[in-house]
Amino acid sequence: MKKVLAYLKGYKKECVFAPLFKMLEALFELFVPLVMAAVIDTGIGTGNKNYVIRMCLLLVTLGIIGLVCSITAQFFAAKAAVGFATGLRHALFSHIQSLSFTEMDTIGTSTLITRMTSDVNQAQNGVNMFLRLFLRSPFIVFGAMVMAFTIDVKAALIFVITIPLLAIVVFGIMKISMPLYKKVQEKLDAVLGITRENLTGARVIRAFNKEEAEIENFRGKNEELTDAQLFVGKISALMNPVTYVIINVATVVLIYTGAVRVDTGYITQGEVVALVNYMSQILVELIKLANLIVTLTKAGACMNRIAGVLEMKSSMGFPSALQTGESNAKDEIAVEFRNVGLTYEGGGAESLSDISFTVKKGQTIGVIGGTGSGKSSLVHLIPRFYDATRGTVLVDGKDVKTYTKEEIRDKVGIVMQKAVLFKGTIRENLKWGKRNASEEEMWEALTVSQSREFVEKKEGKLDAEVEQGGRNLSGGQKQRLTIARALMKKPEILILDDSASALDFATDAALRKAIREMKENPTVFIVTQRASSILYADEIIVLDDGAVAGIGTHEELLENCEVYQEIYYSQFEKEEKRDA
């Protein structure tokens, strides 16, 4: 939690002034019952209207001063809380961006979204409430008791009994409810997780006609959350009736004791009214304090969860500058794998085992294999999205671990399996590849990616709007735009990770031909399940269950590699039979 609260350091002045002005407000509030007592005893008791008017004006003055103090305190508390949340959110987002894919996979996207939104908001509310009430409520409780003793010691003893009783009830209920509130928050996380899945996978759910099943699943999770909230709500609901019973019994005893003391001449009627007012103030502030502590408990739990993310260190470190060493820069070797193995965090067995191959600059390499054979895992090691758990991956003769993040990502352009576009225009999405790109460069990338035709038909062309996730584009259009974005940076190594799956065969062939004819002559890795996409690759790497089943040209593999034969003939069976 200290790591999180460190973001309050820039608001030391606000953290002092907010409680200070709240204390001033409380101080003026404690004088109100004494003024009322004076109005009753001196003004009304003697029939002195001028005195009553003067005291009423004093009450109005105290009210205005208290209001000014309250607004000032709220301003400073809000400034500190919002500034704290802003700094925390920025730091959290920046830290998440620094984490490797391994940590992102471990934590989970829905959890990170909850930390960035709900948890930060709870922390902000906790800081705001703390600055406003943490000193004010105890100050009024003990201040009211002290003021009661200044009026009459015997009557004030009722306060000595009542306050501990109220505290036992309030904090006892709070002690029971706080762990339950933590469980409620966990169930809320589960509801948020399933909500996110349903919203992001809405099309899949409809395609499989699973709306009713998902609604039922959501209803079940929501009912669990509702039941937990109702249970803890019932316990928390006991606070008001029990405390009001105690306070009303104490008030009855106080009025009775006050009446006896008034009859004997020890105190006045106005002082009895003042004592009753102080009793009411104590009740209100104890309830506020209990609610504050519940809020702080929630905020503390959220801060600890945020701190857990902030304390998570990336398993992947990048050097601050390119390390010197032996280089194959003069050779024609672009990428080399030496006995590479990869085991994912928490994975029982290796996802890749003993992978070794060499790729020359300018070559086109096909990577093919069945589902789960490790194709994406293999190419993700090149831009260092993951680190090999054993062996070495080299780019231009240097271990990828010796490159800075900027250097290795500039060398490698990758198009992921899932086409991701951001809300904005086509121009803005293309500039992710090159910030200061000219229109000519954009149209060149669109031409190579086979996107030019449909972009020219759109209203606004490069300035045509792209909705969030590219939902106003077809699957093929999204894939081609993501390819164009990768081409903008003119990478030395271009990785197409099953990124043409939504394209028809003619467009796919035209795309591969255009990439081969690029003047930059990049080294291209084509990850695919279509044998037709890699027939003319310089070399094809065949993977089977994380191991290399064969490396060679299409003709060589068709003769020597059983795994490749199975894949190829399963896709070209009709043509082969027809030829026969």
Cα separation values, 140 from 163, 220, 479, Å? 12, 45, 65
346 vs 30: which has the higher pLDDT? 30
| Residue at 280 is within a domain | yes
User: From CA 40, how far away is CA 35, in angstroms rounded?
Assistant: 9
Q: Going by C-beta distance under 8 Å and a sequence separation of 6 or more, which residues neighbour residue 408?
A: 383, 384, 395, 400
Per-residue pLDDT, averaged over 546-571, amounts to 86
d(CA 197, CA 218): 11
pLDDT at 54 over 70: yes
How would DSSP label each residue in 337-380? EEEEEE--TT-SS-SEEEEEEEEETT-EEEEEESTTSSHHHHHH
In this predicted structure, what is the pLDDT of residue 71?
92
SS3 395: strand
pLDDT of residue 323: 56
Domain of residue 572, CATH code: 3.40.50.300
Query: What's the confidence (pLDDT) of residue 400?
Result: 87
pLDDT band at residue 269 using 50, 70 and 90 as cut-offs: confident
Lowest-confidence range among 46-60, 261-275, 322-336, 391-405? Answer: 322-336
* Residue 197 maps to a domain: no
Q: What is the DSSP letter of 449?
A: T
pLDDT band at 200 (very low <50, low <70, confident <90, very high): confident
* Residue 507 within a domain: yes
> How far apart (Å, rounded) are the C-alpha atoms in residues 305 and 201?
27
Q: What is the pLDDT of residue 82?
A: 92
Q: Give the range of the structural domain holding residue 508, as residue numbers without chain letter.
A: 333-579
Residue 193 lies in a domain: no
pLDDT above 90 covers a percentage of the chain that reads 3
Calpha distance 539→523 (Å, rounded): 12
pLDDT on residue 573: 66
Sheet bearing 352-360, strands edge to edge: 352-360, 333-342, 390-395, 398-399
The neighbouring-strand residues paired with 355 are: 340
Residues 351 and 256 in one domain: no
Q: Are residues 257 and 369 in the same domain?
A: no
Q: In what order do the strands lie in the sheet with 523-528?
A: 412-415, 493-497, 523-528, 364-369, 539-544, 547-552
In a domain, 210, yes or no: no
Q: Is 537 strand, coil or helix?
A: coil
Strand 493-497 relative to strand 465-466, pairing: unpaired
pLDDT of residue 448 exceeding 70, the answer is yes
State how far the Cα of 162 lies from the Cα of 167, in Å rounded to an integer: 9
Are residues 389 and 464 located together in one domain of the fold?
yes
Determine which of 207-216, 346-355, 524-533 has the lowest per-residue pLDDT on average: 346-355
Looking at the structure, tell me whether residues 274 and 129 fall in a common domain: yes
The answer to whether residue 204 is domain-embedded is no
- 191: tokens are 């509801």
Question: Considering only CA atoms, which of 178, 170, 180, 188 is closest in space to residue 296?
Answer: 178
pLDDT in tens, 454-474: 888 888 888 888 888 777 888
pLDDT classification of 313: cutoffs 50, 70, 90: confident
Residue 272 sits in the same domain as residue 358: no
Q: Looking at the structure, tell me whether residues 425 and 283 fall in a common domain.
A: no
At residue 331 the predicted structure's pLDDT band, cuts being 50, 70 and 90, is low
Same domain, 265 and 358: no
What digits encode the pLDDT tens for the residues 59-115?
898 889 989 998 999 999 999 999 999 988 998 888 888 887 777 777 777 778 878
pLDDT confidence of 268, banded at 50, 70, 90? Answer: confident
Q: Which two tokens stand for residue 40?
A: 């009753």
Same domain, residue pair 307 and 358? no
Q: Which residue has the higher pLDDT, 267 or 578?
A: 267
- 552 HSE (CA, 13 A, CB side): 14
At 563-574, the pLDDT tens digits run 888 888 887 764
Average pLDDT over residues 120-128: 89
Model confidence at 540: pLDDT above 60: yes
The residue-averaged pLDDT of 475-481 equals 85
How sure is the predictor about 579, in pLDDT bands with cuts at 50, 70 and 90? very low
Question: N- to C-terminal Cα distance for the chain?
Answer: 73
Q: Is the pLDDT of residue 575 over 70?
A: no
SS3 210: coil
pLDDT score of 293: 78
Mean pLDDT of the chain: 83
Q: What is the 3-state composition of the chain as percent helix, strand, coil, each rounded to the nearest 5?
A: 65, 10, 20
**pLDDT above 70 as % of the chain:** 96
pLDDT at 169 over 60: yes
pLDDT at residue 438, as a whole number: 85
Contact 340, 548 (CB under 8 A): no
Mark whether 139 and 255 lie in a shared domain. Answer: yes
Domain count, the chain: 2
Q: Residue 337: is its pLDDT beyond 80?
A: yes
Q: If you average pLDDT over each of 206-220, 256-270, 321-335, which comes out highest?
A: 206-220
pLDDT-derived band at 244, boundaries 50, 70, 90: confident
| CATH of residue 129 | 1.20.1560.10
Question: What is the bridge-based pairing of β-strands 352-360 and 333-342?
Answer: antiparallel
**Is 377 inside a domain boundary?**
yes
The answer to the question of residue 229 being in a domain is no
Give the per-residue pLDDT at 383.
87
Of residues 182 and 93, the one with the higher pLDDT is: 93
Which neighbouring-strand residues pair with 525?
A: 365, 495
How confident is the model over 492-519, as pLDDT tens digits?
888 888 777 777 788 888 888 888 888 8
Q: Quick one: average pLDDT of 382-400? A: 87
> Could you tell me if 449 and 300 lie in one domain?
no
Same domain, residue pair 249 and 394 = no
Residues 379 and 283 in one domain: no
